């Protein structure tokens, strides 16, 4: 953006989901040097505010097409642990992060044409029941 003369104050990044047509990403991606070096460069070299505009991680395998990290299985505990470690890295290198569709839960059927991957990645176990991952967002 800087090379093209685009002025901006805030850099927002979106990171890969565990579903969809994108190429697989080495997991956990937030432990890869490229992840935190990019955040550090934007914040400390360019002097920008840096936010992760969207991220998620599945608590269930339904609709998920990518292989999970051995450290973070597709379970409520795996999701909670992923979020905890992800947010620790983000807090060290960025100004904040936003979770992608946190209000989804298994079987919510918010859209008519299957959205299992979103339901699997939400932060609720039921309509009014947050799962244990939600505690990481105090």
pLDDT (tens place) for every residue of the chain, 138 residues total? 778 999 999 999 987 777 776 776 777 888 889 998 999 999 999 999 999 999 999 999 998 888 888 899 999 999 999 999 999 999 999 999 999 999 999 989 887 776 888 999 999 999 999 999 988 887
Where do the structural domains in the chain lie, given as residue ranges?
27-137
**What are the CA-CA distances from residue 34 to residues 5, 29, 41, 128 (Å)?**
24, 9, 10, 38
pTM of the entire predicted model:
0.88
DSSP state letter for 43: I
Under 8 Å between Cβ of 73 and 81: no
């Amino acid at each position: 953006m800087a090379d093209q003369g685009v002025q901006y104050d805030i850099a927002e990044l979106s990171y890969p989901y565990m579903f969809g047509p994108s190429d697989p990403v080495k997991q956990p991606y937030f432990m890869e040097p490229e992840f935190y070096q990019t955040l550090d460069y934007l914040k400390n070299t360019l002097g920008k505010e840096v936010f992760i505009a969207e991220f998620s991680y599945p608590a269930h395998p339904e609709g998920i097409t990518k292989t999970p990290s051995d450290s973070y299985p597709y379970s409520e505990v795996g999701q909670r642990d992923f979020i905890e470690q992800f947010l620790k890295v983000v807090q060290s290198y960025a100004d904040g992060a936003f979770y992608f569709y946190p209000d989804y839960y298994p079987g919510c059927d918010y859209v008519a044409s299957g959205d299992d991957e979103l339901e699997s990645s939400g932060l609720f176990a039921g309509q009014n029941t947050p799962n244990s991952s939600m505690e990481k967002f105090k």
